[in-house]
Amino acid sequence: MPFFQLSETDTGFPPAHFADEQGMIAVGGDLSVERLLNAYQSGIYFWFSPMDFIKWWSPDPRLVLKPEDAEPPEQLPGYRMDLEVTFDQHFELLLRQIQEVQNTPPMGENWVTEQMAAVYRALFEQGYAHSLEVRHGTTWVGGIFGVAIGKAFFAEYTYSCTEGGGALSLSLLARQLQAQGYHFIDVQKPSIDTPDLGFTEMSRLAYLDWVKKACL
Q: What is the pTM of this model?
A: 0.93
- Looking at residue 162, its amino acid is T
User: Mapping DSSP to helix (H, G, I), strand (E, B) and coil, where does residue 54 land?
Assistant: coil
Q: Please report the pLDDT score of residue 3 as a whole number.
A: 76
**Bridging pattern class, strands 62-65 and 184-188:** antiparallel
Which CATH code for domain 4-60? 3.30.70.3550
Fold designation for 63-214: Aminopeptidase (3.40.630)
Q: Where in the chain is the domain with CATH 3.40.630.70?
A: 63-214
pLDDT at 64: 96
Q: Which segments of the chain belong to CATH 3.30.70.3550?
A: 4-60
- Tens-binned pLDDT, residue by residue, of the chain (216 aa): 567 999 988 999 999 999 999 999 999 999 999 999 999 999 999 988 766 789 999 999 999 999 999 999 999 988 999 999 999 999 999 999 988 887 654 445 556 888 899 999 999 999 999 999 999 998 999 999 999 999 999 999 999 998 899 999 999 999 999 999 999 999 998 765 556 799 999 999 999 999 999 998
Give CB contacts under 8 A, 24+ apart, made by 103-109.
108/49, 108/50, 109/50
| Burial class of residue 38 (count of CB atoms within 10 Å of its CB; 0-12, 13-18, 19+) | middle
pLDDT at 1: 56
The contacts of residue 96 (CB under 8 Å, 6+ apart) are 117
